[in-house]
Homo-oligomer: A and B are copies of this chain.
Amino acid sequence: MRTVAYLGPEHTNTHMAALAKFGRKVEFVHAPTVEEVFHLVEREKADVGVVPIENSLEGAVTHTLDRFIDFKQSPVQVIGEILLPIGHFFITRPGVPLGDVDTVYSHPQALAQCRPWIQTHLKRGISLNETHSTAEAVRWVAEGVGDGKSFAAIGHKEAARQYRLAATPIRDDRDNRTRFLVIGLKDPAKIGRSKTSLLFALKDKPGALHDALMPFKQNRINLTKIESRPSKRKAWEYVFFLDIEGHSSQPAVQRALEALKKTTSMVRILGSYPMASGSRKSPE
């Protein structure tokens, strides 16, 4: 039986993503941090790991990106991706009216995503408290101090069910989806269309970013994502994360990557993996 590590605790969105991908016929292990998920995979305590990488409203999960920059020698590669529509629920003890709530707990990403709803539906001057996960927030409401009647959490309805709390869907017509990466030590099977994730650093010369992107255009390879992060070695020096369509074994991709190596100071292929349906965005 395969072991799947995920950013926990149970009933987080990462847990839901892992369940959606691997079903119930695997053993799940949850880890408290992104770092720990990588660690479990590196030490072969888990066969694969699931970590969030970006949200369609709030952008990159910088912890995950930085783990790839900081651990250059890690044998971990990206072996898959999962896309999950995110539906948040407003969770209170049963029978608590919205107007009684004066403190809302949740993960900072969930609080940020629900800010418009909070401003419309809750009283002014409400206190927003950050927790490590949406699941922890729900536990706070269930086990909170005092009568707990003025506390609410934003989280997943599964977590509310576990503690027998009331859950109201937070409606938002914006397209809220999170993309997760599956990490592992072994190359994944080549099924359907592929995507390749890589990172690179630029040479110190004008036009360097333009030149780095040129080989992809010349080889008609679509970029689906570019993200810059500080190198942490030198101020205002960046590392770029790139997702492209295609597999690193395809001749056009190989030609582009060879050319990229010549024009940049560092290239690291993070992995080629099957593209999740709905993952392709407007091409760049």
Residues of A within 8 A of B (CB): 54-59, 62, 108, 130, 174-177, 202, 204-211, 213-214, 216-217, 220, 222-230, 232-238, 279-284
Contact = CB atoms under 8 A, between A and B. Distances in A.
Contacts of A225: 228, 236, 238
Given A225-B236, A234-B175, A235-B177, A208 B283 contact: yes
A250 to B, nearest CB: 16
B228 A282 contact: no
A178 to B, nearest CB: 10
Given A225-B238, A236-B281, 10 more contacts: A57-B232, A59-B228, A108-B130, A174-B232, A205-B283, A207-B217, A209-B223, A210-B216, A236-B280, A237-B281
A284 B232 contact: no
Given A210-B216, A237-B282, A59 B229 contact: yes
A55, A204, A208, A282: which has the most chain B beta carbons within 10 Å?
Answer: A282
Contacts of A211: 217
A283 B206 CA distance: 5
B234 A222 contact: no
A50 to B, nearest CB: 19
A52 to B, nearest CB: 14
Nearest to A281: B236
A226 B228 contact: yes
A228 B230 contact: no
Contacts of A205: 283
A38 to B, nearest CB: 15
19 contacts: A54-B230, A56-B236, A108-B130, A174-B232, A174-B233, A175-B235, A176-B235, A204-B283, A209-B284, A210-B210, A210-B213, A210-B216, A210-B217, A210-B284, A225-B228, A226-B228, A236-B282, A237-B281, A237-B282
